[in-house]
């Protein structure tokens, strides 16, 4: 695996398709002067754009454009990097790519096509970025909202890494303190008390909780919220999807069972992406197609972060309707109640029937007129723990949240050991070490090769 990281690599670094400008990027730990001279006809000044012809094998120009050379270590990857900026036609870029590959074979450079994310992976391996910053590169490219893009930019600048680094430094000092006492058991208790080890541990846990809360917010910006609209046929699921999306995405008719399959759309509320799915009405299927649609509805419900259980105010209290709703409630009993929001639709058509009492937490709205939609939007954010975007929020991933969660668990165990009389210092030292390892996974201070492969494989080629 390591030998492949020593190979020069090349790829088209711009998105597929036609464009004004396209870029072919080469990165190599070896000197690229022979390649540059053969391709550009002369040497290049470092970090200075040169307009020149990119030469084919016979000397004819493939295209005219800008060539830039970034000598190591002052480049994106930390290696020698050559960027060729040509016209953005797919054929031109493929010809440039093929020319680079041919020169690599002629000059025996072992030049090969880059794998997805390999340029950024080399930046990480060469110490130009830590792992959290490398992931932020991909997150910035994939950002679907302005808030996500700004937060990804802050993470790329090192906001998350700085927070984690401060926690790590405090944890290292505490580990050094505890492990030093293991060599002097007769003085360990007094020594730890004088050094305020318990106080340090408590303050570390408080700081960790604050970082974890911000990281959860950042993960919501990146991952978004999966919301499923569920309920009987004709309660207004498709109308609500259209109202939230602001477009006619789903067909709306008075005929029960109009929606036969899942219809999804991503919208944003306060910069948080919401992946909303309209599903087939939950009832006893009348044919095979509807049976499949209903089964998919239940699958979507199981995977959802929030389930909007829709009810029809115009039918509340009718025996047949209430019986069907009771069957759905019974099946939803396996779903965490905290994930379910009771929504009573068609508030524009009727008031709550006399004698009927809605649940305290229920929302009344009209998908037709928009009444109550703002309250629904805020309720969705509250259900996943979103708070108004704090200044300086950085984007994060679920793996960051999980790593901080494991760090928190080990620090809690460390506190439990430290408060025993007398404390088992070897166990305390071990829990602090495990906390340190979990924290190191975020920035790549401690990481497995499998984790690196999983992360960088999801990048685009050329990045």
Give the pLDDT of residue 423: 78
Q: Is 345 annotated as a binding residue?
A: yes
Query: Is the per-residue pLDDT at 354 higher than 80?
Result: no
Query: Is the per-residue pLDDT at 2 higher than 50?
Result: no
Q: Is 15 annotated as a binding residue?
A: no
Q: What is the tens place of the pLDDT at every residue in 288-308?
A: 877 787 888 888 889 888 999
Q: Is 253 annotated as a binding residue?
A: yes
Least confident of 71-85, 94-108, 260-274: 260-274
pLDDT category at 360 given cuts 50, 70, 90 is: confident
Q: Is 173 annotated as a binding residue?
A: no
Q: Is 259 annotated as a binding residue?
A: yes
Q: Is 53 annotated as a binding residue?
A: no
Q: Is 238 annotated as a binding residue?
A: yes
Q: Is 122 annotated as a binding residue?
A: no
Q: Is 302 annotated as a binding residue?
A: no
Q: Is 346 annotated as a binding residue?
A: yes
pLDDT category at 243 given cuts 50, 70, 90 is: confident
Q: Is 8 annotated as a binding residue?
A: no
Catalogue all structural domains in the chain, each as residue range(s) with its CATH number. 3-129 (3.30.1360.120), 133-220+395-456 (1.20.120.430), 223-383 (3.40.50.300)
Q: Is 25 annotated as a binding residue?
A: yes
Least confident of 57-66, 132-141, 210-219, 441-450: 441-450
Q: Is the CB of residue 20 less than 8 Å from the CB of residue 87?
A: yes
Q: Is 239 annotated as a binding residue?
A: yes
Q: Which one of 64-78, 232-246, 327-341, 343-357 scores highest in mean pLDDT?
A: 64-78
Q: Is 443 annotated as a binding residue?
A: no
Q: Is 389 annotated as a binding residue?
A: no
Least confident of 121-125, 170-174, 420-424: 420-424
Share of the chain above pLDDT 70, in %: 87
Q: Is 127 annotated as a binding residue?
A: no
Q: Is 237 annotated as a binding residue?
A: yes
Least confident of 103-117, 164-178, 218-232, 443-457: 443-457
SS3 letters across the chain: CCHHHHCCEEEECCCCCCEEEEEEEEEECCCCHHHHHHHHCCCCCECCCEEEEEECCCCCEEEEEEEEEECCCCCCCCCEEEEEEEEECHHHHHHHHHHHHHHHHHCCCCCEECCCCHHHHHHHHCCCCCHHHHHHHHHHHHCCCHHHHHHHHHHHCCHHHHHHHHHHHHHHHHHHHHHHHCCCHHHHHHHHHHCCHHHHHHHHHHHHHHHHHHHHHHHHHHHCEEEEEEECCCCCHHHHHHHHHCCCCCCCCCCCCCCCCCEEEEEEECCEEEEEEECCCCCCCCCHHHHHHHHHHHHHHHHCCEEEEEEECCCCCCHHHHHHHHHHHHHHHHCCHHHEEEEEECCCCCCCCCCCCCCCCCEECCCCCCCCHHHHHHHHHHHCCCCCCCCCCCCCCHHHHHHHHHHHHHHHHHHHHHCCCCCCHHHHHHHHHHHHHHHHHHHCCCCCHHHHHHHHCCCCCCC
Q: What is the tens place of the pLDDT at every residue in 108-123?
A: 999 999 999 999 999 9
If you average pLDDT over every residue of the chain, what do you get? 85
| Residues 72, 30: Cα–Cα separation, whole Å | 9
């Amino acid at each position: 695996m390591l030998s492949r990281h020593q190979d020069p690599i090349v790829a088209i670094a711009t998105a597929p398709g036609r464009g004004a400008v396209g870029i072919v990027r080469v990165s190599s730990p070896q000197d690229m002067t022979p390649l540059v001279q053969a391709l550009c006809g002369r040497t290049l000044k470092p970090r200075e754009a040169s307009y020149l012809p990119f030469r084919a094998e016979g000397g004819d120009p493939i295209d005219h454009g800008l060539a830039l050379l970034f000598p190591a270590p002052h480049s994106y990857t930390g290696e020698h990097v050559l960027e060729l900026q040509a016209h953005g036609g797919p054929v031109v870029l493929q010809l440039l790519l093929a020319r680079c590959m041919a020169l690599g074979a002629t000059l025996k450079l072992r030049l090969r096509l880059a794998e997805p994310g390999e340029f950024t992976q080399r930046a990480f391996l060469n110490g130009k970025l830590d792992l959290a910053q490398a992931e932020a590169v991909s997150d910035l490219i994939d950002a679907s909202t302005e808030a996500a893009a700004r937060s990804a930019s802050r993470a790329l600048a090192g906001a998350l890494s700085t927070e984690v680094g401060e926690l790590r430094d405090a944890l290292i000092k505490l580990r050094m303190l505890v492990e030093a006492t293991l060599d002097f058991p007769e003085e360990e208790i007094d020594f730890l008390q004088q050094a305020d080890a318990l106080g340090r541990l408590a303050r570390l846990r408080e700081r960790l909780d604050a970082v974890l809360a911000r990281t959860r917010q950042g993960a919501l910006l990146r991952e978004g919220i999966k919301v499923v609209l569920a309920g009987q046929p004709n309660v207004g699921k498709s109308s609500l999807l259209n109202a939230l999306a602001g477009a006619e995405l789903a067909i709306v008719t008075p005929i029960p069972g109009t929606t036969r399959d899942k219809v999804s759309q991503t919208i944003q509320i306060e910069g948080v992406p919401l992946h909303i799915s309209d599903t087939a009405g939950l009832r006893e299927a009348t044919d095979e197609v509807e049976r499949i649609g209903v089964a998919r509805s239940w699958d979507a419900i199981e995977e959802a972060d929030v389930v909007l259980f829709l009810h029809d105010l115009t039918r509340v209290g009718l025996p047949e309707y209430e019986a069907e709703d009771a069957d759905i409630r019974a099946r939803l009993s396996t779903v965490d109640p905290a994930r379910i929001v009771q929504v009573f639709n068609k508030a524009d058509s009727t008031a709550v029937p006399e004698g009927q009492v809605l649940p305290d937490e229920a929302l009344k709205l009209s998908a037709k007129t928009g009444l109550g939609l703002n309250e629904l939007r805020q309720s969705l954010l509250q259900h996943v723990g979103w708070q108004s975007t704090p200044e300086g929020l950085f984007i994060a991933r679920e793996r960051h949240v999980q790593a901080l969660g494991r760090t928190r668990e080990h620090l809690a165990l460390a506190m439990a050991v430290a408060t025993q009389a007398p404390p088992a210092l070897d166990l305390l030292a071990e829990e602090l070490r495990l906390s340190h390892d979990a924290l190191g996974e975020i920035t790549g201070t401690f990481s497995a090769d499998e984790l690196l492969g999983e992360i960088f494989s999801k990048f685009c080629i050329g990045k």
